[in-house]
Amino acid sequence: MDMVQLEVLRGKTGFMCDMDGVIYHGNRLLPGVTEFVNWLQRENKQFLFLTNSSERSPAELQQKLARMGLEIGVEHFYTSALATAKFIAGQNPHASAFVIGAPGLVGALYDAGITMNDVDPDYVICGETMSYNYQMILKAVSLVNQGARLIATNSDLTGPSEAGIIPACRALVSPIELSTGKSAYFVGKPNPLMMRTGLRLLGVHSHEAAMIGDRMDTDIVAGIETGLTAVLVLSGVTSREDVEDYAYRPHFILNGVGDIPV
C-alpha cells in the first residue's frame, strides 16, 4: 500500500475496531496497538471498539485493556451482548429468556429489562461461554421445540486466542439449530442493526468512518454493506490467501493496526 492510500485512511474521522484478533489475542496485546490507540487519542479521532464477543461488559473490557496498559474510557466499547439486549427489548419489552452465555450477556439482558426463565421463555439466547455443556443444549432444544425463539449474539464460527483458533458463537448454537430445525437470528456483525448503532455512537457519517477487523465474513462485509471503508488486518483469523475465497474485497489490507499511525 502506498503512502497516498494510507493518508486517505488516516484522514477518516471515525474508526470502528473489532477487538479479538485486532487489539489482542486472549490476554496478549498485539504489536502496534498501543501506538494505534495513542494516535487515535492524539488526533482526536472518534473511535469505538465494536466487538462480537458477548462475554464481557464494556466496563470489563475497559479493565482488561487497562491491565495491558491501555487507558480507554468505557464509552468507547459496544458489544454484541448490548446489541442483543437492545434488539430483544425493542421487539418484546419485558420478555424472558433462557440464556447460554457469560455474565456480560446476562447483565446486558437484565439491564434491558429481560428476565431469566428456564420454564417457558420467549427466547433462547446463545452467546460464548466457557461453561457450555450438553445439559444446556438439551434444555435449549426442548424450549425451542416448545416455541421459544432462537437468538444468537453473533455469527462468528471461530475466534482467535492465545492457544490458537477456538469455537465461537455459531459453533455453539449450531447443535440447537440442527436438533430443532430452527435457524437462529444473529444480532452482531454483520447485522446492520449493530453497525448503525455503532455509527450513532461515533456521531459520524458512514463515508467518514472505517471498519477495522480480522474477519471477512463479519467485519469486512459489515463495513462494505454499511458504507464504511473496510480495513482487513492479518493479525487474526484471516490470511491474505483467504481473501480470494470471497466475492468482495476490503478497501485496505494491513498486517495490523500498527500500520496506520504516522
**Does residue 20 have an active-site annotation?**
yes
Distances (CA, A) of 82 to 92, 202, 221: 15, 16, 21
pLDDT of residue 1: 54
Which DSSP helix (H) or strand (E) runs through 16? strand 14-17
Residues of 41-73 as b/e, b for ≥16 C-beta within 10 angstroms?
eeeebbbbbbbbbbbbbbebbbeebeeeebebe
Using a 10 angstrom Cβ sphere, with 0-12 exposed, 13-18 middle and 19 or more buried, the burial of residue 248 is exposed
pLDDT at 260 exceeding the cut of 90: yes
**Mean per-residue pLDDT over the chain, rounded:** 95
**Cβ atoms < 10 Å from Cβ of 98:** 22
pLDDT tens-place string over residues 214-259: 999 999 999 999 999 999 999 999 999 999 999 999 999 999 999 9
Cα separation, 54 vs 78, in Å, equals 10
pLDDT at 26 exceeding the cut of 80: yes
Range 188-211 average pLDDT: 95
Given the residues 2, 18, 214, 245, the one annotated as active site:
18
Given the residues 2, 20, 219, 259, the one annotated as active site:
20
Phi, psi (deg, nearest 5) at residue 109: -65, -45
Question: Could you tell me which of 192, 200, 90, 179 has the C-alpha nearest to residue 134?
Answer: 179
**Does residue 120 have an active-site annotation?**
no
Q: Which domains does the chain have, with CATH numbers?
A: 3-52+189-259 (3.40.50.1000), 81-186 (3.40.50.1000)
- pTM of the model as a whole: 0.93
Range 140-156 average pLDDT: 97
